[in-house]
A = this chain, B = another copy of it.
Amino acid sequence: MVTIKDVARDAGVSVGTVSNVLNGGRVSEARRKLVEASIEKLGYQVNTLAKGMRMQKTDYVVVILPNLINPYFALLLDALESELSAVGKQVLLCLSGDNAEREVAFMDMAKQNKVDGIIGVTYSKVEEERIENMAFVSIDRHYKSHIPCVAGDNWQGGWLAAENLHKRGSTNLLCFMTMSSVDSEVRKRRVGFTEYCMEHDLSCNSVEMSEKQIVSVYESYGSRKLIHNMLRAYISPSMGEHSIDGIFTSSDHLATIVREELEEMGKRVPEDIQIIGYDGLQFLNQGKPIVSSIAQPLHEIAKQAVKSLTDMIENGKAEDVTNIPVTFHEGSTTKPLETISE
């Protein structure tokens, strides 16, 4: 392994001179050429970790996500990696599995290793002292302190979902959500949805399942029974004219599960009941989206998160909350607008 000392010896200069060449310090042109020739000749490779340490920072950013099984997180990470590498930073990946202890361990690790900062989707409770004095940007979760939060505009997303169900003829609406135990920006989806319903005098119901349930929704077939029973409660002949005819779900995945359950109950989607999901992830079917959805602006979220982190690193502060506009993507679970008789 060639060291900086070997380079200095070969070039006939001091280690300090080599260091100045490497770090852009002042050095005569003649000496610079000698050092560069030796670096080339010996094949010396700058140890960027060592460099980062000397400067009390590295070029790494820790990214904390719950998992990559949920395609929203996989696509978000793809976008974050792209934005970070564009500013010369690399992703140190931490998957927490929604485990608070792991999240805390990752934050301590980040602190110990003097990384540039953390961008995290953290759902469990984190003591805020732990991330104080660190460049930390939260996605989707609003901490109460000065930690910047970047999110798609969840309130607007809920409003858009209700508006699009209503415009397509649904009047008995249901908001079907999974919810984290911590205060997350995601809750605003329900608020936007409910406010649209109130303003337009629509019947509006709301179901919230705990986060623990959604994890098992992703991982097993078992908890579908709960979803089935909840839907049954809202959709039955005995409900008469109050039977649900439009459902807004907190994810596209939940939307596809709800669709399956409805079809097993003999309901037609979208003829009898329309569904709008959330995230706009059309993985396996780019041509014809599987479910209608409120699409998250993933690349804009990633871009803004990296901008906020850079602001934090350079200026010690960044905008508190950034809400990025979302859009409605038409899929096969809502009726086309033009066929509605007004």
B45 touches A287 (CB 8 A): no
A77 within 8 A of B: yes
Known: A112-B47, A114-B47. A284 touches B288 (CB 8 A): no
Residues of A47-95 whose CB lies within 8 A of B: 47-50, 52-53, 56, 58, 60, 63, 67-69, 71, 74-75, 77-78, 81-82, 85, 90-95
Across the interface, A221 reaches (CB within 8 A) one of B67, B69, B287, namely B287
A109 within 8 A of B: yes
Instruction: Kindly state the interface size class of chain A when it binds its partner.
Output: 35 or more
Chain B residue with the shortest CB-CB distance to A76: B68
Identical chains in the assembly: 2
Q: Give A252 to B82 CA distance when docked, in angstroms.
A: 25
A307 within 8 A of B: no
Chain B nearest CB, measured from A74 CB (Å): 3
B287 touches A284 (CB 8 A): no
A68 touches B74 (CB 8 A): yes
A260 within 8 A of B: yes
Chain B residue with the shortest CB-CB distance to A94: B90
Across the interface, A53 reaches (CB within 8 A) one of B47, B74, B114, namely B47
Residues of chain B with a CB closer than 8 A to A58's CB: 49
A46 within 8 A of B: yes
Residues of chain B with a CB closer than 8 A to A82's CB: 95
Chain B nearest CB, measured from A289 CB (Å): 11
Chain B residue with the shortest CB-CB distance to A60: B92
A141 within 8 A of B: no
A180 within 8 A of B: no
Chain B nearest CB, measured from A278 CB (Å): 13
Chain B residue with the shortest CB-CB distance to A74: B74
Q: Give A108 to B43 CA distance when docked, in angstroms.
A: 12
Residues of chain B with a CB closer than 8 A to A22's CB: none
B252 touches A284 (CB 8 A): yes
Please name 5 further chain A to chain B contacts, defined as beta carbons within 8 Å, in addition to the given A47-B53, A85-B95, A90-B92, sorted by A numbering.
Answer: A68-B81, A221-B287, A256-B284, A260-B285, A260-B288
